Structure 1
């Protein structure tokens, strides 16, 4: 395997590959960390320049990146940026892997099986996130419906009071690691008053 790969060294902030480019290499993190980021503007979600790159994953020692672009012929769906000083990656080019598959089909099969396992885990994780988001949107929709149905009850003197309970710590608005207290409760209760 070492004959068909090369060790690449990166420093903090250095780009390994960028979203939308034709990078078709597979990388394994030997030392350090790599942040995986997307540009919401390139995804078509916001206008260019309104917000910066968003981190969607972190790769640490023993993990891989670039599997999707290795398999398909599309540009990279995200960017990879070195997130620690002295990061070492083992890089496999698509062409070198293709030669290995021809020269040693058994090793090629094992590599393909490992890549399929990694991609399967990523798909399962993304499916879980999509389901969580769908449920969040579902509950938010019904909260808005309930508020609009009761809006006639509020005026400038008597507010419409509602309690919003959030049970997913990743969706907390007021508490958590970025708050003053840093204490993460099991659920978050927010009292909302509409006038």
Structure 2
């Protein structure tokens, strides 16, 4: 796919929309289209990975390994969302496993090239890091809600069991 086509796609995606034409062009130069068929593991928790992705079409599921419970779904992402943010921060290992829930088209951005671009052009660096921080903030809220959903019901079940057993012994 040509740089011009990639630039046009980037202009339409939520994560990259609103960047200037010049910034879009710089991103397009270090990007490529990458497709993942349904069921494909894009990367696994603990693995090294060199790209970050902006989802063009499709949906992916983020799973985290929980001891004795396996890889549990934490969040679903779709068009315009960012996947693989750990790569930009040079953390070395991915923090989750990501699987395509359906055929998914992405724009893959080389993380090393993006880091270099952000270091050389602080305006685009600020824009990209601000967008990553926003995405992470939204994921933190979603993850908290997921944890409350997963463990909240168990807590309420325990409270009901406790109240029922307490009533039974007191009467």
Give the structure-1-normalised TM-score: 0.63
State the match for 1:117 in structure 2. 134
Report whether the alignment pairs 1:83 with 2:101: yes
Q: Post-superposition shift, 1:94? A: 2.1
Q: Post-superposition shift, 1:84? A: 1.9
Q: Post-superposition shift, 1:99? A: 1.1
Give the 3-state SS of the residue equivalent to 1:21 in structure 2: coil
State the distance in 2 between where 1:132 and 1:14 align.
27
Report whether the alignment pairs 1:63 with 2:81: yes
Q: Post-superposition shift, 1:130? A: 4.1
State the distance in 2 between where 1:72 and 1:140 align.
42
Match 1:94 to one of 102, 111, 127: 111
State the distance in 1 between where 2:90 and 2:151 align.
28
Which one has a bigger Cα radius of gyration?
A: 1
Residue by residue, what CA displacement relative to the aligned partner does 1:148-175 show, whole Å, maximum 9, x if unpaired? 2233489xxxxxxxxxxxxxxxxxxxxx
Answer yes or no: is the 8 Å Cα contact 2:51–2:111 preserved in 1: yes
Report whether the alignment pairs 1:103 with 2:105: no
Report whether the alignment pairs 1:2 with 2:28: yes
User: C-alpha root-mean-square deviation of aligned residues, in Å?
Assistant: 2.6
Of the two structures, which has the highest relative contact order with CA contacts closer than 8 Å and spacing of 6 or more?
A: 2
State the distance in 2 between where 1:103 and 1:96 align.
10
Residue by residue, what CA displacement relative to the aligned partner does 1:88-110 show, whole Å, maximum 9, x if unpaired? 11112221111101221101110
Residue by residue, what CA displacement relative to the aligned partner does 1:64-106 show, whole Å, maximum 9, x if unpaired? 1112453361522221122223x21111222111110122110
Answer yes or no: is the 8 Å Cα contact 2:88–2:112 preserved in 1: no
State the distance in 2 between where 1:131 and 1:15 align.
27
Structure 2 alignment gaps of length 5 or more: 1-26
Pairs aligned (count): 145
Residue by residue, what CA displacement relative to the aligned partner does 1:109-146 show, whole Å, maximum 9, x if unpaired? 10001111111111223334445566545533332221
State the distance in 1 between where 2:55 and 2:92 align.
23
